[in-house]
Amino acid sequence: MKTMLQALTLILLINPVFHLQANETHRSHTLQDHNEVYALAAEYLKQKTDQKIFEASFELKKFSKQLRLPKCLSPLSLKDRNPNTFAGRITLSISCHQPTWRVFVPAVITGKLPAIISTKGIPKQAVIKEGYIKRVLLPYQKVPKGHLVNINTAIGMRATKAIPPNKVLKIKDLQPSFWVIKNQQVNIITRIGGIEVKAVGMALKSGIEQEHVPVKNLSSKKVIKGIVIAPNTVLIP
Output the tens digit of pLDDT for each of the chain's 237 residues: 443 333 322 222 222 232 223 333 344 458 999 999 999 999 999 999 998 889 999 999 999 989 999 999 999 999 999 998 888 999 999 999 999 999 999 999 999 999 999 999 999 989 899 899 999 999 999 999 899 999 998 998 999 999 999 999 999 999 888 889 899 999 999 988 888 899 999 999 988 889 999 999 999 999 999 999 998 999 998
Measured CA to CA, the distance from residue 210 to residue 228 in angstroms comes to 5
20 within some domain? no
Number of domains, the chain: 3
Contact 82/116 with Cβ under 8 angstroms? no
DSSP string, 115-126: EEEESS-B-TTP
* pTM confidence score: 0.59
Q: Report yes or no: 140 and 110 within 8 Å, Cβ to Cβ.
A: yes
Examine residue 94 and state whether it is found in any structural domain, yes or no: yes
Q: Which of 166, 128, 126 is nearest to 150 (CA)?
A: 128
Shared domain for 203 and 164, answered yes or no, is: no
Residue 123 is assigned to a structural domain of this protein: yes
Of 198, 173, 175, 184, nearest to 231 by C-alpha is 184
Closest-CA residue to 87 (of 135, 136, 43, 143)? 143
Q: Examine the fold and report which residue of 64, 82, 110 is the final residue of a domain before the chain moves on.
A: 110
SS3 of residue 13 by DSSP:
helix
Domain hosting residue 203, numbered range: 185-236
205 and 162 within one domain: no
Q: Are residues 211 and 228 in the same domain?
A: yes
Same domain? 121 vs 102: no
